[in-house]
Structure 1
Amino acid sequence: MMNARAALLVLALILSPLPAGIATAQAPADPPDIALDEAARAAVIDGLLEKIGRIYVFPDMAKAMERAIRDRQARKEYDAVTSGREFARILTAHLREVCKDGHLDVEYSAAVIPEDPGRRPPDPGDVARFREAGRRRNYEYRKVERLDGGVGLLQVDGFYPGEWAGDTVAAAASFLANSEAIILDLRQNGGGAPTGVALLASYFFDEETHLEDQFNRAENATRQYWTYPVVPGRKLANQDLYILTSGRTFSAPESLAYDLRALGRATIVGETTGGGAHGTTPHRISDHFRASIPFSRSINPVTGTDWEGIGVKPDVAVPADQALLTAHLLALKKARTRHADDPGLAGDLDRAIAGKTSELNELKASRAGPR
């Protein structure tokens, strides 16, 4: 979804509860808000619309957003807004009314925002601290487990750059290699680096596979993303794959779900995802305002489009809290068919199916409440 430098910056913003930027996280505490006057509001609007017009991935949409904000400004809708934090919130809402783009965001900062990082090389100390934060979080690989019936579970809550997380992913893949099927839990995953997505996807294919393209408006260039031809550890290309999603699943994990489903490699179970398909970088607007502006869009080689604004719709739609049990049952039933000629294993699978069916029914009943 972005280049390596942008990934370092954006990951710091989206992988909660990581600090909202390595460089600014250690700044002294400032007053929680600032008072805006007419000149300050006008400067923020002018700077914001200039950058959107120059950077936003769809030029026609950028013009539409500018017209909408200028119309509101002419009607003096912003004249009574004196809070910096509230002004950022209102501008975000008004822009999203037009573009429906969950990646586009205006942010207020009590601390003075430094110049855009793209104008200077990343500080090695900042990168080292960010990487160390990732290591302590196990690069967001939260759980690897063997479930009843030999089904493997992998929970990933974010994607750090693939070159950092390689050993962790390889270890998880080796643990899962003997599974009947694999459930990949992305329900809590809010984004991350495209190389982290490509690395994990690589384990689910035997051969190098075209995942998606990214068109960058500013560069007028398209970058292709493919699975890696060689990865450490064991491949998982022969197991059925079920991907769990929720309304919180957003951006990078959506690309993984969308692309693997389009390639016929995964079954999606859960809720429709958040609908963010655009690559995004932060840009300084003024001393106290920055904007995350989408600059690129995804193009799937199979569908020719992406999931922006609509999300990835599941193959099996269930509430997020029922997704794991639902996928587990699907995997067990398919394994039961596969091992029908093995009475001992088939019996074990029958017992697992009965147990998980009971658990799912109890969960559904608890959601329904008393009658």
Structure 2
Amino acid sequence: MTTPEVTELVDRLRTLVEERYVFPDAAAQISARLAARRDGYPTDPAALATEVTADLQSVNGDKHLRLLHHAEPLPEQVPGDDAAEYAAMAQWAERTCGGIAGARRLPGDVGLLEVTPVLFPAVLVGDVYAAAFTLLAPVRALIVDLRGCLGGEPSAVSLFMSYLWDHEPVQLTGMYERATDQVRQSWSHAHVPGRRFGRDRPLYVLTSGSTFSGGEALAYDVQRTGRGTVVGERTRGGAHPREAFRLHPHLEATISVARAVNPVSGTNWESVGVAPDLATTAEQALPTAYRAALEQVCAGDGPSAAEARAALAAGAPL
């Protein structure tokens, strides 16, 4: 890139931040920061992306504010046409089993549901969630592994939470949108296809320092509704949904256009992450949650309790 091309790109980015960023006051400061360096950025696209991202995040640490470098050229963006993005997301979901990496029953009648790489839009994965929860609905306790969940879409969070709740809807984390100056509410669903796990049996959610965005939203809603116990590490801390803008064949800006608002806390996990109820390392999160789940199953009776006691006696092997 030439220096004039870099300057023009930075000016376009400043306009996007000023017009779209969810916090107008911070947007003005970020724009001023970019303007102060507009003629001094490197011309190498990868180096440019690194330095501009640092300046975008310098005011308030918003991890969704980024200039991303792509080795492969980005397709042209057509305003109002989301078909290409939707098709790419659908292919990604297809390759990754809709984000459900595993659904299995552990000894002691404890279910394990692994979610990675992201919580895909509900329209793409509704049948996958229905199948996974129908499989695990009978277990006495459930562990949801979000340690490798790096993001997600709000519709998927509300659908997933619906399988962990009952038919009476509960209000979840909504989104304040700068464009409308209103909070768009989110609720669990009164009806879901397949079987629910429900809201009464033990639930454990695993987190790591890599759990981000939509994965954090699910953990936060589980915690704030009192539905379950979060086990593991404090999450990464990204609560601002973003939009992407192609500024160059190899450079894409992401701008936070909304912020999460939880009806219980009145705030979100931005920058601070979701703090676990049971803090441990990411590696120990599953063994810790499994032992806790087995102890709860043991408190019951019947074959499941006997199997759980046997699993604990064996050291709860995984």
TM-score (norm 2): 0.92
Task: Tell me the CA shift for residue 346 of structure 1.
Answer: 4.5
Shift of 1:120: 3.0
Partner of 2:156: 196
Given the superposition, is the C-alpha separation of residues 232 and 70 from structure 1 closer, same or farther in structure 2, using an over 3 Å criterion?
Answer: same
1:85 is the counterpart of 2:50: no
Aligned residues: 315
Partner of 1:217: 178
The one-letter code matched in structure 2 to 1:197 is V
Q: Percent identity?
A: 37
1:345 positional shift: 5.4
Structure 1 residues 106 and 348, CA, compared in 2 at 3 Å: closer, same or farther? Answer: same
- Mapped to 1, the partners of 2:209 and 2:123 lie a distance apart of 28
Describe the SS at the equivalent of 1:98.
coil
Match of 2:96 in 1: 137
Separation in 2 of the partners of 1:257 and 1:320?
Answer: 15
The letter of the residue matching 1:49 is R
Partner of residue 320, structure 1? 282
Hey, what's the Cα distance between the residues in 2 that align with 1:345 and 1:175? 17
* Rounded Cα–Cα distance in structure 1 between residues aligned with 2:72 and 2:63: 25
Of the candidates 205, 215, 222, which is equivalent to residue 165 of structure 2?
Answer: 205
For residue 92 of structure 1, report the CA deviation from its aligned partner: 0.3
What's 1:307 paired with?
269
Letter in 1 for 2:233: E
User: Which of 113, 122, 145 lines up with 1:154 in the alignment?
Assistant: 113
The whole-number CA distance in structure 1 between the counterparts of 2:191 and 2:306 is 38
The partner residue of 2:144 within 175, 179, 184 is 184
Q: Distance between the aligned counterparts of 1:304 and 1:133, measured in 2?
A: 34
Tell me whether 1:56 sits opposite 2:21 in the alignment. Answer: yes
Offset at residue 245 of structure 1 (A): 0.5
More helix by share: 1
Q: Distance in 2 between matches of 1:239 and 1:347?
A: 17
User: Structure 1 residues 323, 39: closer, same or farther in 2, change over 3 A?
Assistant: same
Please tell me the residue identity of whatever aligns with 1:141. Answer: I
When Rg is computed on C-alpha atoms for both structures, the one with the higher figure is: 1
Taking structure 1 as the reference length, the TM-score comes to 0.79
Q: Which residue of 1 aligns with 2:299?
A: 337
Q: For 1:162-311, what aligned pairs fall within 5 Å after superposition?
A: 162-206=122-166, 207-237=168-198, 238-311=200-273
Q: How far did 1:108 drift?
A: 3.1
CA-based RMSD of the aligned residues comes to 2.1
Matched, 1:67 2:26: no
**CA distance, structure 1, for counterparts of residue 91 and residue 6 of structure 2:** 39
In the alignment, the residues of structure 1 paired with residue 30 and residue 123 of structure 2 have an alpha-carbon distance, to the nearest angstrom, of: 38
For the residue of structure 2 that corresponds to 1:304, the secondary structure is coil
The Cα of 1:71 is off from its aligned counterpart by 3.3
